Amino acid sequence: MDTPAEVSVVIPTRNRPELLTRAVRSVLAQNMPDFEVVVVIDGPDDVTSKALAEIGDPRVRTVPLDRKGGAPNARNQGVRAARAPWTALLDDDDEWLPHKLAVQLSLALHAGAPRPIVASRLFNRTPRAEFVMPRRLPAGGEHLSEYCTVRKGLFHGEGFIQTSTIMAPTDLLREVPFTVGLRRQQELDWALRAIRAAGTALLMADEPLVVWHQDEDRERISLQMPYESQMAWLRRNRELFTPRAYAAFTLSVMSSMAAPTRKLAVFRELLAEARGHGRPSAVDYLTHLQIWALPPRVRHVLRDRILGRG
């Protein structure tokens, strides 16, 4: 590389060479030149290594891992290998718009905080619809946990942060690594911990800069429902949430994960958790009820129609 990279782009991957190729090419199409792409191959995967070699761009290098350790571990390994002062994260099944890095780097360099976390809106693309998320940006002084969890509508949230939108100082990502072994809410867990570090602030680009692909015929960890382990994570991390946010998260996200059990005891457990350690609103109670009353596909269709009109 002729000039030092300003941004390291970390992409964890395993056994998805076609999707990875699309993701990498969306980075190589950025309209700023000074970046490197660090692809972390999460365990032995000759097909992916071959696909990357065929791209043939010197800005792309690989970090092959000896064994599969999961996306959070792969991201952490990629951050350790990063050479630039800023690191941007990209999941292998998503893609960026060409001006993504330039917009975020400009925001970062003009931020009032010494270690800004920069995210953005995105295009959420599903087989049924495409719409922009999040519906709104954080308000001044709003606690990040409330921005990401508190709902105004029954079928969707207002705030959101997704991994492929995140750019942050490399030293911050090393100081606050992703939680290895966490299967869901990886970016929320990281953001709530990172924003507590000295000198940080969350900035969010108003325009969508990422395409978030949600192909429902493809296996995704984010569609699996490890209810018990996720509940244990939530209870361990109550201090990261305000009481208002804790109740909202319990009666929306945790409720969605637990509803397939169809167990009245679990329904009551979540209510007790929200009331005992949080401050539920009427919307939270109604959200909990509709999650358990309506089949998931019906709720998803209603959500997409509502968001699509927004």
pLDDT of residue 1 exceeding 90: no
Residue 121's alpha-carbon distances to 161, 163, 219, 236, in angstroms, are 8, 11, 24, 29
pLDDT in tens, 59-93: 999 999 999 999 999 999 999 999 999 999 999 99
The band of 171, judged by pLDDT with boundaries at 50, 70 and 90, is very high
Task: Tell me which residue has tokens 């941004």.
Answer: 7
CA distance 290 to 255: 10
**What is the pLDDT, as a whole number, of residue 55?**
94
Cis upstream peptide for 64 (omega within 30°): no
For residue 175, how many other CB atoms are within 10 A of its CB? 13
Mean pLDDT, the chain, whole residue set: 91
CA distance 52 to 54: 5
Question: Range with the lowest mean pLDDT among 31-45, 213-227, 234-248?
Answer: 213-227
The secondary structure element, H or E, covering residue 295 is: none
Please tell me the distance from the alpha carbon of residue 9 to that of residue 160, in angstroms, as a whole number.
21
For tokens 């995140």, name the residue: 166
* Token pair 């167990």 in the structure block, residue: 263
Residue type, 211: V
Provide CATH code, domain 7-213: 3.90.550.10
The single-letter code of the amino acid at 188 is: L
The letter for the amino acid at 3 is T
Rounded to whole angstroms, how far apart are CA atoms 26 and 143?
33
- Which of 74-83, 151-160, 211-220 reaches the highest mean pLDDT? 74-83
Q: At 53, is the secondary structure helix, strand, or coil?
A: helix
Q: Report d(CA 242, CA 143) in Å as an integer.
A: 8
Question: Can you give the residue ranges of every domain in the chain?
Answer: 7-213, 225-309
CA distances from 286 to 39, 255, 275, 280, 290 (A): 43, 11, 14, 10, 6
Strand (E) or helix (H) holding 90: none
Q: Which of 43-52, 94-103, 156-165, 176-185 has the weakest average pLDDT?
A: 156-165
